Amino acid sequence: MATLKTAPTAASVDDFLAAVPDETRRRDAIAVRDLMRQVTGEPPTMWGDAIVGFGQRHLRYASGRELDWFLVGFSPRKAATTLYLGEGFPEKEQLTARLGRHTVGKGCLYVKQLADVDLDVLTELVRASVAQARAE
């Protein structure tokens, strides 16, 4: 099995977040960390150099590929905060329609500023994603 670059590390999440250069992005990242920690009940862990993940699960694909991954996570990127949420949970489409300003990628949401989204809806999105991941 190939080794993934994105794996849990012992790096400090707090140091990583403190080093985010943009003040708004840093403040948003700290808020997302707190939200995901509260919803998952899991401590934040650095995955690779730039992703903060919560919890862990083992994925097995039909192709036979297997990997360990986080339940939910995020990364304060330069253009937006990337939220890594799972795929396939039934509430996702309805909740993202009510979320506010964001764009969608495969398995993730991009939010330029947390002020542009409804935090209650974001909390429900994270909760639904975690429930789906834990049920798999």
**Ranges of each domain in the chain:** 13-135
Q: What is the pLDDT of residues 11-64, one digit of tens each?
A: 999 999 999 999 999 999 999 999 999 999 999 999 999 999 999 987 777 787
**CATH class for the domain made up of 13-135:** alpha beta
pTM for the predicted model, two decimal places: 0.91
Please check whether residue 125 is in contact with residue 107, taking contact to mean a CB–CB distance below 8 angstroms.
no
- Which amino acid does the sequence have at 96? T
Amino acid at 8: P
Q: pLDDT tens digits for 70-113?
A: 999 999 999 999 999 988 788 888 999 999 999 998 889 999 99
Whether the pLDDT of residue 1 is over 50: the answer is no
Alpha-carbon span 43 to 22, nearest angstrom? 24
pLDDT score, position 88: 76
Which residue, 82, 73, 7, 86, is CA-closest to 37? 73
Q: Pairing relation of β-strands 66-69 and 57-60?
A: antiparallel
- In whole angstroms, how far apart are CA 103 and each of 15, 79, 117, 124, 131? 28, 12, 11, 17, 23
